Every structure is written in structure tokens, then in C-alpha cells.
């Protein structure tokens, strides 16, 4: 019995060691991705502090007009659109590493120009150059995190990644509050160097299998995820599905007509359009909740509430600090709650507080009640806390998991184009919404819009926590025979 217990303890010890090694290797890779996400957060945090500083330096609001300010805030979303078409093609032909290296190099060049900028025009150009960085968020980076990590750790890495982004926003805001805005560029350049650890990464096992490089696929998969039962099962399913696909493809006549026909057939397949539409709803909820708008225009919003510029800067830092803490709290909750429960629960709570804030400000505008700035800021803070626990950390995680392996090269660019265009447009028109509808009307608009998408997700969103990408994809298939499933697990 003692010998048996000793052998069992040894086996358990080896499993523990292998699990820890796999975790460290996955952490090593995702830390490079998180570093780029931090730099992306700096990019989005820059307009909030650079615009007031440029106006103050010139002693004139005309140094950065309202039109120019809205472009500086939103232009990286529009400049991302062409990159969204280019990067997926590169990830399919060249793998995941080379496009990631290209993004890192372009980021370094963009922030070098930002450091050398001396007026709003050059700042705008440097922001335009960050289009590849913004586009990588929903193309290259999401592929790396989902394909290089196991289901056990994937949720953690995805939520932490989202939190790191807002750390970048907060650091940019804090730096611009107390120092000259060019110091932000120094942080960005430093954190843009670390992701070049990509030269020490293996290539994605999914991409290697797609190319028929099954030996290299197995080696990369084992290096990343070890030799456990779940890991071996995932690897066998991946290789089996890709071999079946390669056989089918070799016997297929790939004429232009057949490709066009195949494209339209794919568009009408439930496995393609169902997860795509749900992902669109998730990203719409993220943008129409109003939280990201409040982050990007926090100084202006708080200034309107408090009528004090110094209070606005301090309130902005406190509000964003609370946001980050709430996101960390949400990351902890995600370990215990189901993904769907946390996303929808926090969304509905956030919408309720947003509508309450809208009603409170409306009653003040009618002079029915007297304004209490503490109450206004408190309601805005509670709204930020609830939304930060859910949509702000889970949106990318959920759509990254919903996107089917078979249709990734088609659905990810479509989703990325929609998301970046929507985010840029919402940021671009928000100043005009606040001006036309006032604060109470704008908050009502965001609350009602978010309610629509939250309800749709409540009706149709499945649970994705602790499920492999193959299991999630299988959920959306109309038929689930073994032969059909082998065709459905293919990266196209």
C-alpha cells in the first residue's frame, strides 16, 4: 500500500509540474500580448489629456477645434479598417507570429512620431498610424490568446487582457494630469519593446495543423499545453479534423464559380451567422453601454457636472481607478460565476443605474430637485463599477470564444470591421449627442440602446466557460454527426 501511495504521489507530482510548466509558458506568451494591449490603452487614453494641454499651451481653444478633438479621439478606429482586411490574410498565409511582429514595429514607429509631435495635426497623424495596433485587437491578438491557451486558463487571460487595456488608459490620463503629455510616448515605447519576445514563441498549433504540418503542430501543442489527457484529446481532435479537411479539399475543384457558391453557402450556414450575430450584439453592448464613451470624455463630463476643471481631473482619475478595481473584481468573479451570468447580470445592473442617473439629471434640469454633485458622481461611479465587472472584461472573451474555428478568417474580419467602425463612430458623434440631448438625454440614449442588446443576449447567448473551441462551435451546428463535425472544426 505504501509503495502504491508513493507511485500515486509521484504521478500527481509530475502532473502538477507539467500543469505549472504549461501555465508559465502560456503566461509568457500572453504577457507579450498584454503588453501590446497596455500600449493600445495608452493610445486611447491620450486624447483625454493631450487635447486640454495643447489648448492650454496655445492659450486658445482654437488650437484644437471641437471637430479636430473628435477626430483625435476616434480616428484610430477608422484607420484600423484597412488593417482589418490585411491582417487576417497575413495570419492565414504567414501564421500568427509575423503579423504580430509587423504590428509591434508599426507601433514603435507611430509612438516615435507622437513623441516628436508639436501640434494637433501631428498628434492626429500619429494616432492614424496606430490603426494597425487598434486592428490587431480583434484579429491577431484574439487569435493568439484563444489558440495558445487552454480552456482552463483562457478565461483568466482574456479578462486580465481587458483590464490591462484600461490600466493603459488610466496611466495615460494620470501622466497627462501631472506631467507633459510626451512622457506617455516614453512609456509606450518601452512597453512596445517587450512583445518582441515573440521571436521565442512557437507558431500556433491551429495554423500549423491547417497547413498540414502535423509534426510541428504536435510539438508546439505539447510545448504549450503539456501531455495531459485533455491536451491530448484536444490535439487529436484538431489533427483529425484537419486531415479530413485536407482530403476533402484535394478532391475539390476550386474554380472561381465554386468559390463564390461556397461563400454564399457559408453565409447562410447557422454555424457562421449565429455566432457572428451574437458577437455583434456583444460588441454593441460594449459600445452602447456608454462606459467607454464616459472613459474617453471623462474630463469633459465631470467638468459639466462639477463646473470645476481641477475637480474634473481628480474625478477622472478616481473614476478610472474605480473602473480598474472593478474589472479586477470582475476577473475574480469570473472564476466562480458562469460567463453568461456575469455578463448579463452586471449589464442589467449597469443599465438600471444609468437610467436612474438620467432621470436624476432630468429632474434637476426641470428644477424639480436641487442638484447634489456627490449624488451625481456616485451614480456615475456605481454605473461604471457594474459595467466594468461584466461587458468591459468579458466582451472580447465571449466573442473570441464564439467565433467558430472553421470560419475565423471570414467572421473575424467582418466582426472587427463592425466593431472598430462602431466604436470610432460612437466616439466621434458622442460630443454632438451630449450637446444636443444634454447629459440626461445622452445617458437615456445609451441606457435604452444597451437594453436592446442585453435582452437579445439574454435570449440567445450560450454559456462558454471551460468549453473548448470545438465544443462551442458544435453548439451552433444544425447537425452533429462525426463526419460533419470533422468538416466543421477546420480553420478556413
C-alpha cell at 119: 501640434
Q: What is the pLDDT of residues 401-445, one digit of tens each?
A: 777 666 766 777 788 888 888 888 888 888 888 888 888 898 999
Q: Which residue has the cell 482586411?
A: 85
Residue 151's pLDDT band, with cuts at 50, 70 and 90, is: confident
Angle between the N-to-C axes of helices 214-225 and 229-250, in degrees from 0 to 180, rounded to the nearest 10 = 160
What confidence tens digit (pLDDT) does each residue in 352-361 have?
999 999 999 8
Q: Which CATH number fits domain 17-196: 3.30.930.10, 3.40.50.450, 3.50.50.60, 1.20.1250.20?
A: 1.20.1250.20
270-492 CATH, one of 3.40.50.300, 3.90.1570.10, 3.90.226.10, 1.20.1250.20: 1.20.1250.20
pLDDT reading at 100 higher than 90: yes
In the chain, where the domains are located: 17-196, 203-252, 270-492
pLDDT the model gives residue 481: 41
- Tell me how far apart the alpha carbons of residues 439 and 418 are, in angstroms, rounded to a whole number: 27
Please give the grid coordinates belonging to residue 304. 459639466
- CA separation for the pair 174, 183 (Å, rounded): 11
Can 17-196 and 270-492 be said to share one CATH topology? Answer: yes
| Confidence tier at 99 by pLDDT (50, 70, 90) | very high
In angstroms, rounded to a whole number, what is the distance separating the alpha carbons of residues 476 and 471?
A: 9
Q: What angle do CA 216, 487, 229 make, to 5 degrees?
A: 50
pLDDT confidence band for 3 (50 / 70 / 90)? very low
Give percent of the chain with pLDDT exceeding 70.
86
Q: Supply the pLDDT for residue 253.
A: 56
Amino acid at each position: 500500500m505504501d509503495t502504491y501511495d508513493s507511485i500515486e504521489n509521484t504521478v500527481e507530482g509530475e502532473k502538477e509540474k507539467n500543469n505549472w510548466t504549461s501555465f508559465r509558458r502560456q503566461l509568457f506568451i500572453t504577457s507579450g500580448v498584454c503588453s501590446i494591449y497596455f500600449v493600445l490603452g495608452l493610445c486611447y487614453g491620450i486624447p483625454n489629456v493631450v487635447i486640454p494641454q495643447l489648448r492650454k499651451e496655445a492659450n486658445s481653444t482654437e488650437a484644437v477645434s471641437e471637430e479636430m478633438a473628435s477626430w483625435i479621439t476616434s480616428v484610430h478606429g477608422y484607420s484600423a479598417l484597412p488593417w482589418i482586411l490585411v491582417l487576417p490574410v497575413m495570419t492565414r498565409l504567414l501564421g500568427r507570429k509575423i503579423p504580430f511582429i509587423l504590428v509591434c514595429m508599426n507601433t514603435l514607429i507611430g509612438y516615435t512620431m507622437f513623441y516628436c509631435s508639436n501640434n494637433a495635426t501631428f498628434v492626429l497623424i500619429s494616432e492614424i498610424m496606430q490603426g494597425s495596433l487598434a486592428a490587431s485587437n480583434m484579429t491577431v491578438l484574439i487569435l493568439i490568446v484563444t489558440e495558445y491557451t487552454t480552456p482552463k486558463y483562457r478565461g483568466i487571460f482574456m479578462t486580465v487582457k481587458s483590464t490591462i487595456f484600461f490600466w493603459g488608459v488610466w496611466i495615460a490620463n494620470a501622466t497627462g494630469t501631472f506631467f507633459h503629455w510626451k512622457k506617455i510616448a516614453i512609456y509606450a515605447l518601452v512597453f512596445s519593446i517587450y512583445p518582441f519576445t515573440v521571436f521565442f514563441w512557437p507558431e500556433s498549433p491551429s495554423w500549423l495543423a491547417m497547413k498540414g504540418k502535423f509534426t510541428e503542430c504536435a510539438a508546439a501543442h505539447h510545448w504549450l499545453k503539456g501531455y495531459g489527457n485533455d491536451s491530448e484529446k484536444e490535439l487529436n481532435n484538431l489533427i483529425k479534423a484537419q486531415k479530413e479537411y485536407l482530403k476533402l479539399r484535394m478532391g475539390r475543384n476550386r474554380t472561381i464559380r465554386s468559390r463564390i457558391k461556397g461563400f454564399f453557402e457559408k453565409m447562410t450556414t447557422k454555424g457562421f451567422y449565429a455566432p457572428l450575430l451574437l458577437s455583434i450584439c456583444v460588441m454593441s453592448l460594449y459600445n452602447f453601454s456608454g462606459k467607454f464613451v464616459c472613459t474617453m470624455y471623462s474630463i469633459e463630463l465631470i467638468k459639466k457636472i462639477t463646473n470645476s476643471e481641477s475637480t474634473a481631473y481628480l474625478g477622472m482619475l478616481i473614476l478610472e481607478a474605480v473602473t480598474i478595481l472593478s474589472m479586477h473584481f470582475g476577473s475574480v468573479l469570473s472564476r466562480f460565476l458562469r460567463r453568461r451570468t456575469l455578463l448579463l447580470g452586471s449589464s442589467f445592473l449597469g443599465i438600471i443605474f444609468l437610467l436612474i442617473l438620467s432621470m436624476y439629471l432630468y429632474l434637476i434640469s426641470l428644477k424639480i430637485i436641487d442638484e447634489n454633485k456627490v449624488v451625481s458622481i456616485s451614480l456615475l461611479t456605481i454605473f461604471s463599477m457594474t459595467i466594468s465587472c461584466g461587458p468591459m472584461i468579458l466582451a472580447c472573451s465571449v466573442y473570441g470564444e464564439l467565433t467558430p474555428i472553421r470560419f475565423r478568417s471570414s467572421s473575424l474580419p467582418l466582426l472587427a470591421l463592425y466593431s472598430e467602425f462602431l466604436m470610432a463612430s460612437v466616439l466621434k458623434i458622442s460630443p454632438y449627442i451630449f450637446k444636443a440631448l444634454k447629459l440626461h438625454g445622452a445617458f437615456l440614449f445609451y441606457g435604452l440602446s444597451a437594453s436592446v442588446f442585453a435582452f437579445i443576449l439574454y435570449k440567445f447567448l450560450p454559456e462558454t466557460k471551460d468549453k473548448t473551441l470545438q465544443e462551442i462551435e458544435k453548439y451552433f451546428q444544425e447537425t452533429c454527426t462525426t463526419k460533419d463535425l470533422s468538416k466543421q472544426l477546420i480553420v478556413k
